[in-house]
Amino acid sequence: MEFISNPCTRCGKERIKGKEKTFFVNSKKTKLTIYICPDKECQKVVEEQLAAKEERRLAFAEKRNRFYPKKKSK
Ligand SMILES: [Zn+2]
């Protein structure tokens, strides 16, 4: 197996194997391995950055949805 370097974007340490996710693509079982930083604190920051990014994306989508008024349930 070929070794592919996958350093952490924050600290540059070589990432380690994290969680493994199994999902189906076109009814074919696909395994996705998530690589994480060996430094727990660093990984936490990276995940927070990702979450912030996702939040901004959702906020943007929300803004666009305002063009199509919906009934408020609450
Ligand atoms: Zn790191």
5 Cα: distance to centroid of ligand 1 (angstroms)? 14
pLDDT digits (tens, 9 = 90+) for 20-56: 999 998 999 999 888 999 999 999 999 999 999 999 9
Q: What residues pack around ion ligand 1 (CB closer than 5 A)?
A: 8, 10-11, 37, 39, 42
Does the structure show a pLDDT above 90 at 68?
A: no
What distance in Å separates the CA atoms of residue 41 and residue 21, rounded to the nearest whole number?
Answer: 23
What distance in Å separates the CA atoms of residue 49 and residue 58, rounded to the nearest whole number?
Answer: 14
Domain segments of the chain as ranges = 16-65
